[in-house]
Every structure is written in structure tokens, then in C-alpha cells.
Amino acid sequence: MKHLFLSCILLSFFFFGCNSNKGNSEKLDMNQLLSENSEAQELEISEESLNSIIQSLPSPLEIASVIKGSDVPFNEGLLNKTESQENFTTDFEKSLAMGLYSGNLGYINVYEKSYLAIKYLSAIKNLADDLNIGQFFDFETIKRLSENSDKIDSLIYLSTVNFEKMDQFLRSQKRSNLSVLIVTGTWMESLYLATQVVKTKRNDQLIERIAEQKMILDQVLLIVSAYKAEPFFADLLASLGELKTEFDKVTITYNYMEPTTKEVNGRLVIVDNSTTSVTISDEQVANITSVIGKIRARIVSGSAV
């Protein structure tokens, strides 16, 4: 009986005790981490902070929406060709390529080109299968949704949920390095698409969004640097460093003002008076366009990062 009692206590700890510290974990301070990264040669970043940064990076759909808002027609020629899948041989290359295709998918979905969505989702699924994460794709449902242009919202939702599951699985399997490459590739492709569109037609809102990528780049550098002992990551870091040199010339200022809230039809609506303003010259935009273009060309050719 004593043995049984002890077992009950142990079981209680197992089922109810394992999550008990979750809410008390140390809070991530992104500002502090970013300033430490710029000062330190070697910065140890915890798994928890790393995961938090990966989760915090903006969706490719956001920048794609600004691209669409610039009234520039969809350009299939900007996409990374699905045939280039063969160029990616290692898990690192495949993860980075998955990110590029995800960035493309955001652009495709926002322009509601469902006939292309299935082609790019197939490419992503192939790479995901190679990385043993393809099980998170409900491909039959995705295929059905992509055949009906009215279902684009459902397609976007399902694709995003699938990506979330893949990312969570990779991180739970201690394969965060692959998650880092996927989100980095996604971000790079979004930046590439935005710069190419601006080259076609000047749009101040899109230029401002490009300038704001300075903040995202800092976070991307932080997560990539966590694995810089790996030569692939060290090379990627060097490439991103070229981009940082150009982004360092961009200035972003933040002006804090007290926010207020109001209730509208039962919903809490925030009225924020804080602002950010950016200063970026045409030359800086051109330089960023050139650098991201060169890095992206190296990646898609499979020659280097």
C-alpha cells in the first residue's frame, strides 16, 4: 500500500508538475539581446529566446500585402523556379529553400494565384518530406482548396497552420537550426520580392517597409549567429553581414506617446499615438536591392549562401 501511495505522488508530479514553471520563465528582452549581440563577439542565446525570436518574425503575407497595395501586377518571373529544387542537396540548403518557396507562397496567395499555389506547395512538400516534416501537410485538402479560387482564405489559413506545426515540431525535436533557416529564407525572399517590385514602380509605403526590415535583420542575425559554428551558418552570416552594412545606413526613430483605448461594438480598440519614422535614400534602396539580389542568386543556384 505504501508503494501505491508513493506511486500516486510520483504520478501527480509527472502529470501536474512538469508544466508548473512554464509561467515563471524569465522574460525575453529583445532590445537587450540585440544590443548584447552587437557588442559581444560570442553571445550565448538560450533555446527559449531562440524559439521566441523565431516566432516573432513577421509573416511573409504582411509584406506581400504591401506589395499588392502598390498596384504593381503579379510577376511570376520574380519567383524562385520550382525546378531549382534539384540544386538543394543538404538539409541546410533544403531548409533555406523551403523558406524561399514559403516567401513565394505568401506573394502568390495574396495575389490569389491559386493555380501557382499548388505548384509551390508541392515544392515545399517535397522538401519537407526530405526533412521528415512532410507529415504536417494535409496535401489533399490543400489541393482541393487551391482548385477553387473562392477558398483562398482557407488555403492561406491551412498553409499557415501547417507551417506552424512543422516549425513547432522541428523545435521540439531540437532541430531549431532548420527552423532558423526556414524563417531566414522566408524573410530573405520577402525582402527580395519587395525590392524587385520597387525597382519596377516606386512606392513610398513599400520603401518604408523595406527600410523597416533593418529591425528584422537584427533579429535574423541573432538567430543565425546562434549556429555560426556550422560552416553553412557562418557563410550565411557573412552574406547577411553584407546586407547589414547597407541597412546600417538607414535610420529609424521611435516616438513614444501614451496610447488610449475605446470600446467599439464590444471590441477593445487601441488608439496608439506612438510613431516610427524612417530615413532611407534612393541610393540605399538601390544598394539593398543589389545585395539581396546577389545573395538570393547564390542561394537559388545552390552554389553558396
Which residues make up the interface to other proteins (CB under 8 A)?
4, 7-8, 11-12, 14-17, 19-20, 22-24, 27-31, 52-53, 55-59, 61-62, 65-66, 69, 153, 156-157, 160-161, 164, 205, 208-209, 212, 215-216, 219, 252, 254-256, 259, 261, 263-264, 266-276
Q: Return the SS3 of 303.
A: coil
* C-beta closer to other proteins: residue 70 or 289: 70
Least distance between other proteins and beta carbon 7 (Å): 7
* C-beta closer to other proteins: residue 26 or 83: 26
- Residue 213: which residues within 8 A CB-CB, separation 6 or more? 187, 191, 194, 247
Least distance between other proteins and beta carbon 34 (Å): 9
Residue 279 phi/psi, 5° resolution?
Answer: -125, 120
Q: Following CA atoms 281, 103, 305, 32 in sequence, which dihedral angle do they give, to the nearest 10 degrees?
A: 70
Least distance between other proteins and beta carbon 302 (Å): 30
Distance, CA of 1 to CA of 94 (rounded, Å): 56
Least distance between other proteins and beta carbon 70 (Å): 11
* C-beta closer to other proteins: residue 85 or 109: 109
Task: Look up residue 184 and give its three cell numbers.
Answer: 531566414
* C-beta closer to other proteins: residue 277 or 301: 277
- CA proximity to 226, closest of 51, 28, 29: 51
Least distance between other proteins and beta carbon 27 (Å): 6
* C-beta closer to other proteins: residue 274 or 301: 274
Least distance between other proteins and beta carbon 188 (Å): 16
- The alpha carbons of the chain give a radius of gyration, in whole angstroms, of 21
* C-beta closer to other proteins: residue 149 or 274: 274
* C-beta closer to other proteins: residue 12 or 251: 12
Please check whether residue 286 is in contact with residue 195, taking contact to mean a CB–CB distance below 8 angstroms.
no
Least distance between other proteins and beta carbon 86 (Å): 32
Count Cβ atoms within 10 A of the Cβ of residue 137 and give its class: 0-12 exposed, 13-18 middle, 19 or more buried.
buried
Q: Could you tell me whether strands 260-264 and 251-255 are parallel, antiparallel, or unpaired per DSSP bridges?
A: unpaired
Neighbour-count burial for 36-54, b at 16+ CB within 10 Å, e otherwise: ebeeeeeeebeeebbbbbb
Distance, CA of 52 to CA of 118 (rounded, Å): 30
Distance, CA of 247 to CA of 258 (rounded, Å): 29
Distance, CA of 144 to CA of 147 (rounded, Å): 5
Task: Look up residue 302 and give its three cell numbers.
Answer: 545552390
* C-beta closer to other proteins: residue 94 or 209: 209
Can you say how many angstroms the Cα of residue 72 is from the centroid of all Cα atoms in its chain? Answer: 23
Least distance between other proteins and beta carbon 236 (Å): 20
